[in-house]
Amino acid sequence: MNEQDFTISPIPDNIFAKMQGKSYKDNCTVSRDDLRYLKVLHRGFDGRTHTGELIVNKMIAENVLDIFMKLYNEGYQIEKIRLIDEYDADDEKSMSDNNSSAFNFRYISYSTTLSKHALGLAIDINTLYNPYVKNVDGRRNVEPANAEKYTDRSVEFPHKIDHNDLCYKVFTEYGFEWGGDWEHAKDYQHFEMPDEWIEKSLCRKM
């Protein structure tokens, strides 16, 4: 491994073209200049080294690079890190394929509130094994739909994110909030920057 294996750059033209109408929709309120393209190494479920791609907000790009470098150096397994545009920015398709991703200009499921993914300030890891669970109109909803057997977090299984997991420890060390700690829903795959941090960061930019 060398430093060239973990890189940050403005979004290349060919990548930005792939994002059009997918993760970067016509109504996107985040400028291209506020986003960064990251290439990282990760240890796959096959134990081999793979190259992954992420789009994140420039405010967290260096920290995210450090996080993935630490996870890689510790041998932490992440099956896939592909741009969600490879799934036509369809979150369900990406999650059901256990893809880990970041930026996607979209709303929180079953709401009209922009997700932190829409700002490039959230990352989902090993999504099939760490689903999003929420009660919607009295009905229990699991995303992705094929992750039902991983909703019982009292059971031990590979790739489960909990408070003892390295992924949880490293992300929270850098100030991320874990969706598994939420009360209104449980998003075990999800790490995002808290509102307070975002407000302070925006104030510093002004």
Residue 11: per-residue pLDDT = 98
The region, left, alpha or beta by phi > 0 then psi within -120 to 50, assigned to residue 88 is: left
From first to last of the 206 residues of the chain, give the pLDDT tens digit.
565 799 999 999 999 999 999 999 999 999 999 999 999 999 999 999 999 999 999 999 999 999 999 999 999 999 999 999 999 999 999 999 999 999 999 987 767 788 999 999 999 999 999 999 999 888 999 999 999 999 999 999 999 999 999 999 999 999 999 999 999 999 999 999 998 887 777 666 55
Integer Cα distance of 72 and 187 in angstroms: 23
Residues 6+ apart with CB under 8 A from 197: 175
Cβ atoms of 33 and 137 closer than 8 Å: no
- Is the bond preceding residue 144 a cis peptide, omega within 30 degrees? yes
What does pTM read for this prediction? 0.94
Q: For 176, phi and psi rounded to 5 degrees? A: -75, 150
Residue 3: per-residue pLDDT = 59
CB atoms within 10 A of CB 10: 13
